[in-house]
Amino acid sequence: MKSRTAIELLSPARDADTGIAAVNCGADAVYIAARRFGARKGAGNEMQDIERLIRHAHLFRARVYLALNTLLYDHELEEALSIIRDAWNAGVDGIIIQDMGLLECDLPPVPLIASTQTDNRNPEKIRFLEKIGFQRVILARELTLAEIKNIRSQTSMELEFFIHGALCVSYSGQCYLSQAVKGRSANRGECAQLCRLPYSLFDENGKELVSNRHVLSLKDLNLTDYIGQLIDAGITSFKIEGRLKDIAYVKNVTSWYRKILDRIMEERDDLKRSSSGSVFIPFSPDPARSFNRGFTAHFIRGRKPGLSAILSPKSTGHYLGKVSRTGEGYFVLDTEESVSNGDGLCYFDEQNVLRGFRVNRAEGNRIFLWKDAPPPPGTEIYRNNDLQFEQQVLSAKETRK
């Protein structure tokens, strides 16, 4: 009988509680950083908290990977090695690294995962990483399906790929904008996210082409429609970005892709989950109802227009409907969805500037504002903070047995 390929859903964990929630929502693995040397400086954790997460994950044969994926100074190697040894003793299942200097250290026999920060774009680089001892490689987000297939044909290494979350405008590990302008290196976990700021664009003659727009700010990745094709291309670990995201975001997005993968595996006898336990999710997940800048499939089908969230780097959420008419302190929204008191709504004004407000009171489709003037008829309204949905996700008692 032909062996079945184990498929892994890999979720982010800014802390142990978020990681435990991700496991309960169906993650086959989570990745988390220790107190130092993670590529998200604001998401460090003490080892006892990581150990607590590991104990819970291992109940379901789910894995925990330690993200130690920054470049290191020589004087930091000893501390980094100490963290790796402590993580190994705690039961961690793999270490995500960027700095090749760690390979010269006396590492414990922990599986090594090449961070996307090592710029993994071609078969030659992947073969090199395999040769020097890596078990898995996190591929560059910029690859197409065809390029992934080509890499798969030339290596036996495990291939991991981002399927959801924020996108960088530059190749991971190769961007020096933050370091050059602010002295904060992305390769040290300190990216200032200058790509999210507004810029003006001029041609070679000095003519202004774009004025004060977020030309470098990309939409968020969403590969919902490509999971099956990515499996066929050779991806075995499907990664959600977001170690700075809150627990509601992680629960929602993890649950969404758990359902997608389960549906695919029900239809195919050549696949299996890489962890155990049945999952019960008592809410209907929907990534559009969590933080997002609009969605893109990026380069998965080749380089296409429409990647940038050029008007705003903030979350626009999902579309509700248009304003049909206005009155004093309120407007009527043409929508089939319900709006709740306290919801965050937003719209682009006549100058294409994103405006946002909280719903003071909702009476059916009549939306009352606190102080803001109502947007004019015809304005498209989006909900970027779905208060009722978020409370439902946070209060949900998802179970895994």
Dihedral, CA of residue 240, residue 242, residue 246 and residue 252, to nearest 10: -20
| Least confidently predicted of 10-14, 187-191, 309-313 | 187-191
Q: Is residue 36 a contact partner of residue 251, using CB atoms and an 8 Å limit?
A: no
The per-residue pLDDT for 26 is 98
Does residue 121 have a pLDDT over 60? yes
User: Model confidence over 8-41: pLDDT tens digits?
Assistant: 999 999 999 999 999 999 999 999 999 999 878 7
- Range list of β-strands (E), 125-172: 136-138, 158-165
Does residue 2 have a pLDDT over 80? no
The per-residue pLDDT for 391 is 95
- Mean pLDDT over 76-94 rounds to 97
Helix axes 123-131, 145-152, angle to 10 degrees: 40
User: Model confidence over 224-277: pLDDT tens digits?
Assistant: 999 999 999 999 999 999 999 999 999 999 999 999 999 999 999 999 999 999
- Mean pLDDT over 349-371 rounds to 93
Q: In this prediction, what percent of the chain has a pLDDT beyond 70?
A: 100
Write the single-letter amino acid at 299: F
- Range list of β-strands (E), 21-133: 29-32, 63-68, 94-97, 112-114
The per-residue pLDDT for 44 is 85
Q: How far apart are alpha carbons 344 and 357 in whole angstroms?
A: 6
User: Model confidence over 134-188: pLDDT tens digits?
Assistant: 999 999 999 999 999 999 999 999 999 999 999 999 998 898 888 999 999 888 8
- Mean pLDDT over 89-97 rounds to 98
Q: Is residue 52 a contact partner of residue 306, using CB atoms and an 8 Å limit?
A: no
Question: Six-digit token pair at 15?
Answer: 């802390």
pTM summary value: 0.95
Among the listed residues 329, 334, 341, the one whose alpha carbon sits nearest the alpha carbon of residue 379: 334
Write the single-letter amino acid at 183: G
Average pLDDT, the chain: 95
Does residue 6 have a pLDDT over 60? yes
| Predicted confidence band of residue 1 (pLDDT cuts 50, 70, 90) | low
User: Model confidence over 224-235: pLDDT tens digits?
Assistant: 999 999 999 999
3-state secondary structure of 170: coil
Domains with residue ranges and CATH for the chain = 5-190+216-305 (3.20.20.380), 318-392 (2.40.10)
The per-residue pLDDT for 317 is 93
Question: Six-digit token pair at 233?
Answer: 């291309």
